[in-house]
A and B are shown apart, each in its own frame.
Chain A
Amino acid sequence: MPRSFLSYIAQRAVQCVLVILIGITITFFIPRLSPTDPVETAVNQAVMVGQFSHPDAVREMKEALIRLYGLDGTLLQQYVRFWKGLLAGDLGPSLSSFPKPVMTLIRGSLPWTAGLLLTTAVISWTLGNLLGSLAGYYKNQRWASIVGIIAMALHPIPYYIMAFVLVVLLAYVVPIFPIGGAIDIGLKPAFSLVYLSSLLRHAILPSLSLLLVGVGGWFLGMRTLVTNVIAEDYVTYAKYAGVRDRVIMYQYVMRNALLPQITGLAMQLGLIFNGALITEYVFSYPGLGYLAYNAIFAGDYSLIMGVAVFSIVGVSIAVLLIDLAYPLFDPRVKYQ
């Protein structure tokens, strides 16, 4: 293996680790600087249940919770404790769902988020880029204009509105799909047609909402890129040289135009770990978005950290992989 290649990998890996370290450190401190305090939140909830709580009782409860949540000691001590736990694979207990381990909560939501967002991200990227390439390359064709108009019309619609339109149309006016949820009530996970079809039926509307908005974005981006690339000299030369149209389109134009889109895809895949809050809310679909949202409002430092760690590591690794794989897509990029 050439030395330059090894050095390139090492350099990128160190960068990646540094980004992760800094990202996690910032995420550790920021929630602790916010005025939302998990102990206050817990005490407020407890006090709300009953009548007047004597100040001494409130103080006693607070002290007990601080000890229980492991929030005693200085910030530095907490920071060291956090890293020790993290390196042992333990994100600690959630403070708003104490003492449930953060990993357990994330494990419950992550498959839904990954299933929905990974699928829709890949499909919308593929479809958007394919259609965008064709529309850009055959820009004088009537169908290309029509697809362009549709994409232009769909893309600026706020996602929330799009999601609601789909719910109203396809779950209320013509109730083909369920109004919400991830699976029929009472259905137990099983590798059966009933379960799988229920899973699919519930996933169609949230997926469709993400696809319609996502495809439009990729389409418009790719069409612009292709329009620029076909004006390049080497494309004109290839045409004059009698290279087949399909080859020019896939090998010369699309491959070159695709490079920034690949970076975009990598970033999007990394961000999957943030979840899709609005999708989850509108379609009552489980996922990491709602978990993170509640954690922020409850000042649940551990859960915020848990979701953030996944997101930071996800984006960093995605960027690293793209950096490493880039020369495969574009031979002009060298491992230097």
Chain B
Amino acid sequence: MKIPEHSALLVIDLQAGEDTDGIPLMEGSTTFENAPKIIKFFRDHNLPVIQVRELHRADMSDFGRELDGTEGVHCLEGTVHEQFNPLTAPVESDYTFYKRRYSAFLYTELDLLLRCKGITTLFLIGGLTDVCVRFTAVDAHQNDYHFKVVTDCVTGSSREAHEFALLNMKYLQRDSHVTTQEILEAEV
């Protein structure tokens, strides 16, 4: 594989904390094993690394409908969960921003940043495959970006939901699945 010109890595919601912070998670995730390698690859090749984290205000004023489903209170400001995970934490050359909703495009500066940097392909890692990763992919797609989801570096709410979300992303862009190994062996 060749990394397309004008690519960037988007790291979605890899945040700190020992517990799962109100979010269901599938067994057997390899995200934290693979994410540091992929991030290092992008940094080593001077390709942009963009990190987004989900944050909610401590008074819970911005949850909207997010507590009407399966997820509990999560990513509160002032708790350990507001921080980037130490295993994948940003360095100075990374771009960072926060979001209040699932999609990293909704009410954020992401689209502006991508336009200013001339980025046309987004590599996606993080969680959840079936929620924030998928809906970020959908918005990338609808905003005319190419996206690549790293299938062994994303974690779903359940194995089944993870698999269906990957299938859904492939429906949108037939070449959108890549693996960690393919990236690490890719030409730049």
The answer on A and B forming one complex is: no
